Amino acid sequence: MNRLPITKTPKCYVGGAFIRSESGRVAPLLDAKGQFFANIPQCTKKDLRNAVEAAAKAGPGWAKRTAYNRGQIIYRLAEMIEARSDEMAQAIMLGGAKSAAAEREVAAAVDRLVHYAGWTDKYESLLGSVNSVASPHFNFTVTEPMGIVGILAPQSAPLLGLVSLFAPAITSGNTVVALASTAQPYPSILLGEMLATSDLPGGVVNLLTGQRAELLPTFSTHAHLRALTGVADAVERKALRIGAADSVKRVKLIESETPVDWYEDQHQGLYHLKDLLEFKTTWHPVGA
Amino acid sequence: MPAGNSGNLNRLHTNVGAVDPVGIEERVAKYTTRSIKGKSKLFGLRLAVSMVDLTTLEGKDTPGKVASLCQKAVNPHEGMDVPQVAAVCVYPSMVKHARKALGDSKVRIASVATAFPSGQAPLKTRLAEVRSAVGDGADEIDMVINRGAFLAGDHALVQDEISAVLEACGEARLKVILEVSELETCDNIRAASFLAMRVLRPGDFIKTSTGKTSLNATLGNNQVMLEAIRDFFLETGIPIAMKPAGGIRTAKQALQFLIAVKETLGDEWLNNNRYRFGASALLNDLVRQIQKQTSGAYQAPYSFSEAAESY
């Protein structure tokens, strides 16, 4: 008997809910053979604003979780991806990747999350410090999350690139608004479904899909975004830095002109955490 | 409840006309679909700022907190061209501190009185409170009606009490809080509006709520009261002003309320003599959106409020 096909409507994961763009716009996504696959939401600057509001709402609660609990939750996210790794590999193959390469990317993304899950209760001991001062003070430095981080995912490595960029941000208690690869948005749609079942509070990671050129100006000027990380070309980098200057945003961009090998160890670790932290030094008087 | 008194409520409903709640909800749903952009939006935001009754009504209010509220009322944001708010709204014990902080600025002082928010005190006490607030320099008095008497059908008592407060106010303008969440139905809101309007002077206010109960100003109950004001004006020629209070926190909501005013009562009511917002957090968001409109960049909320939370 013939059954009508039940096809999925891809939606973005924002504030713990699955949304269409407020504009109602979508763009067709074609698979590697040029066949229609699905309509992808084309988010606007208003969707970006709404996502920032959602991230702001989730932020204080996420930052107040114990480091241990944040680690458990990020590990749980890795578990959720691992359990659906075949489906995720298929999503990556839509962009033309061979099956082995896609499986490798999923495995690397899971491993990257496990890596950062381990860091949550350790980075503070390495980045914070007790400082020698020439006065009767106990002087120490602790880290604090910056707040809401804007992330511009690379066009290739649609899963591993995105995960490598947002994982260090949330590890230390930041929240994230990320723009997925414009060319290969589907893995981010699927990732949203996994985030939703990962115990990560809604709003901590918000994933938008859409036209990069339309959204970059708002990413750079939105004063509530405290930092921008991601991959960008020379023209974009210049525009982002100029836009970010007014709100004194921290901007850390990887150059897209040279191919990025996301599997390398240099794309994970303590210094990626440090990039998205503020340092607070306290002078505490002590008896002579 | 004595049978004759519930008859009173029925008679009042017949007298002032009934409200179609479904029609009201349908009407106000349209207001949220209007597209207000660019210059019109900026005009609306600035108008809304000029209509704010900047409010602090908490047990923990101090003279210092009231002074900083007054500072904000006069100059909502440093280095920005924003109008002053209409008034500050405080408890009677804070009126003299507000008077001192405001000096000779044009911002008015509104004081809640009459055993706000419940109104459950002897009339003598309530009137003494009004006189003391006016004596300390309040320009406007926000009173609560006797909801118990209203629901029991003792409408003459409700009106007599409003008249007594009116007399105690002297020159001060009166705002009559209906506390819509305790009136249960749209018909009752309309009936209570009429009861109050029939004893008020031109330019006095009716006000939705105290902000101290779970349900405050909504587009729906605002609409019921605006239509009551319109019908009363067409009947008598007396213009009554309106103040929704509580629950209006965002600039977007404020613009929707202004659309309701414009489309129900017209431009005559689009000024702070005829329409006010009772709010505390709203001003921050209005200023934030004005800054967004003028600079083009979305702003962080913590640049506009005293909240310590930096996220």
Q: What is the ipTM of this complex?
A: 0.85
- Kind plus residue range of the DSSP H or E element containing B260: helix B251-264
- The verdict on a CB contact (< 8 Å) between B311 and A147 is yes
Buried b or exposed e, range B100-132, using 16+ CB within 10 angstroms = ebbeeeebbbbbbbbbbbebeeebeebbebbbb
Q: Would the pLDDT of B214 be above 90? A: no
Query: Confidence class of residue A1 from pLDDT cuts 50, 70 and 90?
Result: confident
Mean pLDDT of A97-124: 98
Interface check B310 vs A, CB under 8 A: yes
Mean pLDDT of B115-137: 94
Interface check A224 vs B, CB under 8 A: yes
- The verdict on a CB contact (< 8 Å) between A224 and B296 is no
Query: Hey, what CATH topology would domain A12-285 get?
Result: Aldehyde Dehydrogenase; Chain A, domain 1 (3.40.605)
Mean pLDDT value across chain B: 93
> Mutating which of B37, B302, B311 best tests the A interface, going by the most A Cβ atoms within 10 A?
B311
CB B169 within 8 A of CB B134: yes
A80-84, A126-130, A258-262, B12-16: least confidently modelled range: B12-16
Q: Is residue B301 in a domain?
A: no
Tell me the catalytic residues of B: 142, 207, 243
CB B174 within 8 A of CB B140: yes
For residue B282, the enclosing domain spans: 3-295
Mean pLDDT of B225-247: 96
Which chain B positions have a beta carbon within 8 Å of A223's beta carbon? 297-300, 303
pLDDT in tens, A248-269: 999 999 999 999 999 999 999 9
Mean pLDDT of B214-224: 94
Q: With 0-12 CB in 10 A as exposed, 13-18 as middle and 19+ as buried, what is A134?
A: exposed
Q: Would the pLDDT of A74 be above 90? A: yes
Q: Would the pLDDT of B1 be above 50? A: no
Phi-psi bin for A138: left (phi > 0), alpha (psi -120 to 50), beta?
beta
What's residue B79's pLDDT? 87
Nearest to A218 among B298, B300, B311 (CB): B298
Q: How far is CA A236 from the centre of its chain?
A: 19
Buried b or exposed e, range B271-304, using 16+ CB within 10 angstroms = ebebbbbbbbebbbbbbbbbbbbeeebbbbbbeb
What's residue B309's pLDDT? 61
Q: How many domains does chain B have?
A: 1
Q: DSSP letters along chain A, please?
A: -----------EEETTEEE--TT--EEEEE-TTS-EEEEEE---HHHHHHHHHHHHHHHHHHHHS-HHHHHHHHHHHHHHHHHTHHHHHHHHHTTT--HHHHHHHHHHHHHHHHHHHHHTTTHHHHH-EEE--SSSEEEEEEEEE-SEEEEE--SSSTTHHHHHHHHHHHHTT-EEEEEPPSSS-HHHHHHHHHHHTTTPPTTSEEEE-S-HHHHHHHHHH-TTEEEEEEEE-HHHHHHHHHHHHTTT-EEEEEESSSPP-TTSGGGSSHHHHHTTEEEEEEEEE---
CA of A152 to nearest chain B CA: how many angstroms apart? 18
**Token representation of residue B70:** 């007054």
Nearest to A223 among B297, B309, B311 (CB): B297
Residue A105's nearest CA partner among A168, A165, A157 is: A157
Q: How far apart are CA A115 and CA A118, in angstroms?
A: 5
Q: Would the pLDDT of B4 be above 60? A: no
CA of A225 to nearest chain B CA: how many angstroms apart? 8
CA of A186 to nearest chain B CA: how many angstroms apart? 28
Q: What CATH number has the domain bearing residue B158?
A: 3.20.20.70
Nearest CA in chain A to B299: A223
- The verdict on a CB contact (< 8 Å) between B300 and A247 is yes
Q: How many CB atoms lie within 10 A of CB A264?
A: 8
Residue numbers of B between 259 and 298 with CB closer than 8 Å to A: 295-298
Q: Would the pLDDT of A222 be above 90? A: yes
Q: Would the pLDDT of B45 be above 50? A: yes
Nearest CA in chain B to A50: B298
Interface check B32 vs A, CB under 8 A: no
Residue numbers of A between 57 and 96 with CB closer than 8 Å to B: 59-60, 63
Portion of chain A with pLDDT greater than 70, in percent? 100
Mean pLDDT value across chain A: 96
**Token representation of residue A208:** 């938008």
Mean pLDDT of A147-154: 98
pLDDT in tens, A14-33: 999 999 999 999 999 999 99
Q: Would the pLDDT of B307 be above 90? A: no
Interface check B308 vs A, CB under 8 A: no
What's residue B305's pLDDT? 78
Phi/psi of residue A234, each to 5°?
-60, -45
**Token representation of residue A196:** 């939703």
β-sheet bridge partners, residue A41: A26
Nearest CA in chain A to B298: A222
Q: How far apart are CA A168 and CA A7, in angstroms?
A: 34
